[in-house]
């Protein structure tokens, strides 16, 4: 009887194979059970989702609520009479919640961008010598986009302007984009002209980045904006201010001061950790910290110090978007996605996990308590309450000292490892670092850099279209399953995939980021192009702020010609198969209003308000040429994107070309 009682009380444990498609993660989930360490995979079994919150119709914006407006069983019949205490309708509540998610996401990306812009200003003012301008070409291009003069007229002659002056003015103008009191955001003009004019006509051009986010918080306060269409206008302004503002500035400034990425080789998955090395894992988003740690960890004196402590060296690796930042600029290996952060500690070989901002699970502190791992927070806005966490506030003015202290702390901790080390021996080779510039180079060569090669192959049908597949992991669905199924289905059908964020890491772990993957997984047309140009069928474009690179690549395609005058006209689609964060909603929305049909998986927080749901999932196409869609089945998800791509091919009159090319290839194969 006592035995039975004990059994009934045993915690629910996640089935490793049902929780992840990744063998390394399965091994670590099983290991967590052996060691009695709880992870998100177990908690996902016991913590059920709120069935009303998931519909987007729970309002907790005042203390008379929360008011909950679930859809009645059988849906709405006749008039929708549901109301909150104040009278707010389901549409109003769902739209308010939705744009608050946009505000959260845009704030996260844009505040990251502000942090980078402040460091850039310190560089320009020569207040730091740890960071410098690394890419002068990019600086000059950004200066031009921000209206900063790069030449000066002297005695009727046009001369190059002093670089220090350009740097300072560019940094000042860039930083002003967050809070200037007049005018409009400058970067939306980088979009195709037709897109910019559409935004202007719709009245959704952002004024500055911060204002659009603040205005969302105002409009969604009780008793302010009570029309879902008007609320979405503001959501749209803030999303544009993110994609074509805060995120794009973050990417550009990071390229200026840390270097523009070019293709690099590396490896991905928990197996990049080394038992005989000090394992230092950097997790978060802003590369301000990781750039210096990379430099410090590679110093000979640090490597010697590690050796003096019995290690063979220092193995740096990354989790989440910091991983992508360090990978694309330095070839530092990817340790794992969002859902693998606890698992990296469960290896018993993580000597320190250093975190900055965003996507950090508080539970890493509790997992670390079971091991020797030091968890170090570094950002003033992101601290953890558990008392085993060390806070070393990182500041660009004493960046080297901070980074040295952190790396030394990891090295000193190497000798404290317990006997429970178990690193899963799984990793995959990868090629990453495909920015807008390097893609142009790959397509056209150094003398004739152009996107026209891509356009040409889209027009002739070898490449059916392009998809941006991005976003998070979500513990409510099998880790990486939907990411990989969607991406494989797309490339099998000749759709070139551009990836960022945790989708990029998932694809990396699955071996899809190598040129060789094209022959194995891509359709005949795409495989032929990848082989000719020497690129993988899935191009890693960086972190989540680097989704701005996808916007600019899509714009380059428009500029190269032959595929319409706007992003909404050529065969391109977006996807976030396992999204979970507010950032993903902001990204999705700036994709949509930039003209991209965008599908999400898992859940979509508007289902409880069918009228509002139809507005952004159907009516939006008539306004912006892009719209949201929701499809949890990954194969159907991919085919919805392919159907949209085919629709655009038909509208452009290039659908026939594709049929011809496929016949040519088949007959060549027969020969
Ligand atoms: O910004 S994809 S889980 S890591 S939110 Fe977070 Fe989502 Fe990963 Fe990067 Ni983006």
- If asked whether residues 482 and 377 sit together in one domain, one would say no
φ/ψ region of 534 (left if φ > 0, alpha if ψ in -120 to 50, else beta) reads left
pLDDT tens readout for residues 361-384: 999 999 999 999 999 999 999 999
Nearest CA to ligand 1 atom 3: 472
Nearest CA to ligand 1 atom 6: 359
- If asked whether residues 411 and 502 sit together in one domain, one would say no
Range 74-87 burial, b when 16+ CB lie within 10 A, else e = eeeeeebebebeee
Banded pLDDT at 668 (limits 50, 70, 90): very low
Kindly state the percentage of the chain with pLDDT values over 70: 96
Q: What's the pLDDT at 439?
A: 79
Q: What's the pLDDT at 670?
A: 44
- If asked whether residues 331 and 276 sit together in one domain, one would say yes
Pocket of ligand 1 (CB under 6 A): 320-321, 338, 359, 471-472, 501-502, 543-544, 581, 583-584
Neighbours of 162 (CB within 10 A): 10
pLDDT at 121 over 50: yes
Q: What's the pLDDT at 663?
A: 44
Asked whether residue 338 is domain-assigned, the answer is yes
3-state secondary structure of 465: strand
Q: What's the pLDDT at 437?
A: 85
Which of 360, 393, 416 finishes a domain? 416
3-state secondary structure of 530: helix
Test site for ligand 1: of 342, 472, 601, most ligand atoms within 8 A of the Cβ: 472
Asked whether residue 663 is domain-assigned, the answer is no
pLDDT at 89 over 90: yes
Query: Which atom, in ligand 1's list, is nearest to the CA of 501?
Result: 2
- If asked whether residues 307 and 186 sit together in one domain, one would say no
pLDDT at 508 over 70: yes
Q: What's the pLDDT at 10?
A: 72
Q: What's the pLDDT at 354?
A: 97
Q: What is the CATH number of the domain that holds 243?
A: 1.20.1270.30
pLDDT tens readout for residues 274-308: 999 999 999 999 999 999 999 999 999 999 999 99
Asked whether residue 421 is domain-assigned, the answer is no
- If asked whether residues 248 and 287 sit together in one domain, one would say no
Q: What value does the mean pLDDT of the chain take?
A: 94
Asked whether residue 308 is domain-assigned, the answer is yes
- If asked whether residues 552 and 585 sit together in one domain, one would say yes
Asked whether residue 62 is domain-assigned, the answer is no
Cβ-based neighbours of 174, under 8 Å, separated by 6 or more: 117, 120, 142, 146, 249, 253
Which of 416, 449, 476 finishes a domain? 416
Q: What is the CATH number of the domain that holds 499?
A: 3.40.50.2030
- If asked whether residues 555 and 645 sit together in one domain, one would say yes
Element (H, E) at 266: strand 264-268
The residue that leads in pLDDT, 11 or 316, is 316
Query: Which atom, in ligand 1's list, is nearest to the CA of 583?
Result: 5
- If asked whether residues 277 and 198 sit together in one domain, one would say no
pLDDT tens readout for residues 603-654: 999 999 999 999 999 999 999 999 999 999 999 999 999 999 999 999 999 9
- If asked whether residues 315 and 181 sit together in one domain, one would say no
Nearest CA to ligand 1 atom 4: 320
Domain tally, the chain: 3
Asked whether residue 373 is domain-assigned, the answer is yes
CA of 181 to the centre of ligand 1 (A): 31
CA of 285 to the centre of ligand 1 (A): 9
Query: Can you read off the two tokens belonging to residue 661?
Result: 């090319």
Q: Tell me the CA distances in angstroms from 583 to 256, 434, 487, 557, one per residue in order.
A: 24, 22, 21, 26
- If asked whether residues 490 and 526 sit together in one domain, one would say yes
Neighbours of 36 (CB within 10 A): 8
- If asked whether residues 485 and 337 sit together in one domain, one would say no
Asked whether residue 182 is domain-assigned, the answer is yes
384 contacts 354 by C-beta, under 8 angstroms: no
- If asked whether residues 619 and 500 sit together in one domain, one would say yes
Q: Which domain holds residue 222?
A: 90-258
Neighbours of 375 (CB within 10 A): 25
Average pLDDT over residues 294-323: 97
The residue that leads in pLDDT, 450 or 377, is 377
Q: Give the Cα separation of 286 and 355 in Å (integer).
A: 10
pLDDT tens readout for residues 392-403: 999 888 899 999
């Amino acid at each position: 009887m006592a035995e039975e009682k004990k059994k009934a009380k045993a915690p629910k444990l996640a089935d490793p194979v049902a929780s992840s498609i990744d063998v390394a993660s399965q091994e670590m989930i099983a290991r967590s059970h052996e060691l009695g360490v709880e992870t998100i995979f177990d908690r996902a079994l016991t913590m059920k989702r709120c069935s009303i919150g998931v519909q987007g119709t729970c309002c907790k914006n005042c203390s008379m609520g929360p008011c909950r407006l679930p859809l009645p069983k059988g849906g709405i019949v006749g008039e929708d009479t549901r109301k909150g205490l104040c009278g707010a309708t389901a549409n109003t509540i769902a739209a308010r919640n939705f744009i608050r998610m946009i505000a959260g996401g845009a704030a996260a990306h844009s505040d990251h961008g502000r942090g980078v812009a402040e460091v850039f200003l310190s560089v320009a003012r020569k207040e730091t010598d740890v960071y410098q301008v690394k890419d002068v070409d990019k600086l000059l291009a950004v200066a031009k986009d921000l209206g900063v003069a790069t030449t000066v007229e002297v005695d009727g002659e046009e001369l190059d302007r002093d670089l220090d002056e350009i740097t300072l003015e560019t940094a000042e103008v860039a930083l002003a984009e967050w809070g200037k009191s007049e005018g409009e955001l400058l970067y939306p003009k980088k979009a195709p002209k037709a897109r910019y004019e559409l935004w202007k006509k719709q009245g959704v051009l952002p004024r500055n980045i911060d204002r659009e986010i603040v205005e969302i918080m105002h409009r969604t306060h009780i008793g302010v904006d009570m029309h879902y269409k008007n609320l979405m206008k503001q959501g749209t302004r803030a999303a544009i201010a993110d994609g074509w503002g805060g995120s794009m500035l973050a990417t550009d400034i990071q390229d200026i001061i840390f270097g523009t990425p070019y293709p690099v080789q590396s490896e991905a998955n928990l197996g990049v950790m080394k038992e005989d090395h000090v394992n230092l894992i950097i997790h978060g988003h802003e590369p301000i910290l990781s750039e210096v740690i990379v430099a410090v960890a590679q110093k000979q004196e640090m490597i010697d110090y590690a050796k003096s402590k019995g290690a063979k060296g220092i193995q740096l690796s990354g989790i989440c978007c910091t991983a992508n930042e360090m990978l694309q600029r330095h070839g530092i290996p990817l340790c794992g996605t969002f859902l693998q952060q606890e698992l990296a500690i469960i290896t018993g070989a993580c000597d320190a996990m250093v975190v900055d901002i965003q996507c950090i699970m508080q539970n890493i502190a509790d997992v670390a308590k079971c091991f020797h791992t030091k968890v170090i927070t570094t950002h003033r806005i992101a601290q953890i309450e558990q008392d085993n966490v060390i806070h070393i506030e990182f500041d660009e003015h004493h960046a080297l000292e901070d980074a040295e202290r952190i790396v030394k702390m990891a090295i000193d901790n190497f000798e404290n490892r317990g006997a429970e080390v178990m690193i899963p021996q799984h990793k995959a080779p990868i090629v990453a670092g495909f920015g807008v510039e390097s893609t142009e180079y790959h397509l056209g060569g150094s003398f004739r850099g152009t996107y026209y090669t891509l356009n040409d192959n889209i027009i002739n049908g070898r490449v059916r279209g392009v998809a941006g597949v991005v976003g998070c992991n979500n513990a409510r669905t099998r880790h990486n399953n939907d990411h990989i199924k969607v991406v494989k289905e797309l490339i099998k059908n000749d759709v070139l995939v551009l990836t960022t964020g945790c989708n990029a890491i998932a694809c990396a772990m699955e071996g899809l980021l190598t040129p060789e993957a094209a022959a194995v997984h891509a359709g005949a047309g795409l495989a032929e192009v990848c082989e000719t140009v020497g690129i993988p069928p899935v191009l890693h474009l960086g972190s989540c702020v680097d989704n701005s690179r996808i916007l600019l690549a899509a714009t380059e395609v428009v500029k190269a010609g032959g595929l319409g005058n706007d992003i909404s006209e050529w065969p391109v689609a977006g996807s976030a198969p396992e999204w979970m964060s507010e950032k993903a909603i902001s990204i999705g929305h700036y994709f949509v209003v930039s003209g991209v049909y965008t599908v999400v998986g898992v859940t979509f927080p508007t289902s409880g308000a069918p009228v509002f749901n139809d507005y952004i999932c159907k009516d939006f196409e008539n306004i912006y040429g892009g719209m949201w869609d929701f499809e949890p089945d990954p194969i159907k998800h991919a085919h919805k994107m392919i159907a949209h791509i085919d629709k655009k091919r038909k509208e452009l009159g290039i659908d026939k070309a594709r049929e011809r090319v496929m016949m040519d290839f088949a007959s060549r194969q027969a020969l």
